[in-house]
Amino acid sequence: MNGATLDLAVDYPLLNVFWTTMWVFLWVLWFSMLFRVIGDIFRDDGMSGWAKSGWTVFVVVLPFLGVFVYLIARGRGMGERAVKQAQQQEQQVRSYIRETAGPTGHAEELARLAGLKNHGDLTPAEYEQAKAKVLAA
């Protein structure tokens, strides 16, 4: 049995391993591009329902031609929509973090300032100035 395993390894040379790896990579790249184009078709709010269905049929029926034509015709907008979506997601994350962290109360801020004054990081004059600023807000 070891001889059969050794023969199999010898019958599949390194160049064939390279070509197989390249084809697998190209298929993964192709499917990721196809799914990204289909996702962009449905994400675009500026396109009518008929246009979305037309692009979808074009991409599904003639996938290679459809994807390449879509990238040529709407590639710039695709990048802009991706940037816009990333900015919206970042803004949502930041607002969620602000809501979750909650506003700091005056008591917490005054306690923090008192701790800084007791530790010697703030002089009494700086402490009074910061306290007045907190109480004014």
The number of distinct structural domains making up the chain is 2
Q: Which residue has the tokens 């007791």?
A: 118
Q: What is the pLDDT of residues 10-69, one digit of tens each?
A: 677 888 899 999 999 999 999 999 999 999 999 888 889 999 999 999 999 999 999 999
Q: What is the pLDDT of residues 55-72, one digit of tens each?
A: 999 999 999 999 999 999
Query: 131 and 89, same structural domain?
Result: no
Burial bucket for residue 134 (CB in 10 Å: 0-12, 13-18, 19+): middle
Query: 132 and 69, same structural domain?
Result: no
Q: Which domain holds residue 42?
A: 2-102
Query: 113 and 46, same structural domain?
Result: no
Q: Which residue has the tokens 């907190």?
A: 134
Query: 55 and 119, same structural domain?
Result: no
Q: What is the pLDDT of residues 87-111, one digit of tens each?
A: 999 999 988 887 777 656 777 888 8
